[in-house]
Each structure stands twice: as structure tokens, then as C-alpha cells.
Amino acid sequence: MQVDERAAVTTEWAEVAAAAAGDSGAFEALYRRHAPRVYGLCLRMTGNVATAEDCVQDAFVAAWRALPGFERRSGFGTWLHRIAVNAVLARRRGAAARLESTVGDVEVLVSLLGGVEQAPALDLERAILALPEGARDALVLVALHGHSHEEAADCLGIAVGTCKAQLHRARRLLEQRLGLGEQTT
């Protein structure tokens, strides 16, 4: 680990300790550092901008409440991702959970990605949003956010083998939808 990385980790742990003691300024610093990744995770899992924003808010509120009990068995970011995944899963299970159209969200992705020049990235985002929930969740957590199969399975409340199978399914479906499978010439 380089000196800059060590300093950043030390600073983050100091902010975690201060926030756990009730320092809202320290928690705001943690929020600013982690909110973009948490939002990306929630957006990819939900496929809906408004729902993702709600899940981010739910996750940070839950993190603020749970922070005094944070035991540092994992990194703060990993712990926060688990809370965010739980927020997404809770929304899915909730009485208000229903299938939501992603058409408006694709337009938002176009604007976020810079328009037409990013068509391949947009195709990938559309293909990810079209995946079945289980496959999408495994792909987002393992392939896009770098969690291990064990961490992802634990977050999702599934067996490690199921997580691996869902990731394989997601990759296979993406290859099919994006025309990346074996092609004959």
C-alpha cells in the first residue's frame, strides 16, 4: 500500500470513528466520498433513477443509525455497500414494489454518458438493466463493484454457488444480447 493510500485509509477510519461518536461533519465527508459508488450500485440494481436515489438515501440513513455498532470487520465501503444492497432488496420486497419502466432512465443514461458518442456503453447499460434481477445483482456486485462471490452472496442472502451461477447467467445473457458470443465467418 502506498503512502497516499495509507493516509486515505487512516483519514477514513478517523472519520468513521468521529461519525460513530455523532459528528455529522465527519459523516458528511464519508457521504461525499461514497455516495457516487453507492448511487451507481443502486442504479444498476434497480434500473430506475428515482428508486436508486431513494435507496441511496435509505442506505445512508440506515448507515448513520447503525454506525455506532460498526465493528470494522470489513472496510467501511464494503459495509456501506451491504446496507445499500439491503435497501434495494427491501424496496423490491416492499408493498410498493412493482415493475418500473426504464425508458426514462435510459434517456438519463444517454445524457450522463454524453450522448451518441457513447452508444456502446449505452447498449451495455441497457443490456444490464434488461437482465433478470438475480443475474443483474450478481453482475453488479461481483463484476462491476469488485466484491467477492462470498461477499455478494452474503449481501444478497443466497448461496455462493447460486451467486456464481447467476454471474455466469448474466455474462451469457449479455454476450447474447450484445452479439459478443462466438461468431462464424
Mean pLDDT by 10 residues, the chain (185 residues): 62 91 94 95 91 95 92 88 92 57 42 46 79 91 87 90 93 83 51
16 sits in which H/E element: helix 3-20
Phi and psi at 29, nearest 5°, equal -65, -40
Distance CA(145)–CA(156), nearest Å, equals 14
Extents of the domains making up the chain: 1-98
Buried b (16+ CB within 10 A) or exposed e, 16-32: bebbbeeeeebbebbbe
What's the whole-model pTM score? 0.66
Say what the pLDDT of residue 125 is.
Answer: 79
Structure confidence at residue 127 (pLDDT): 83
Q: What is the domain class of 1-98 according to CATH?
A: mainly alpha
Q: Are 48 and 39 within 8 A, CB to CB?
A: no
Helices (H), the chain: 3-20, 24-46, 49-66, 76-93, 103-113, 119-130, 133-138, 149-156, 160-178
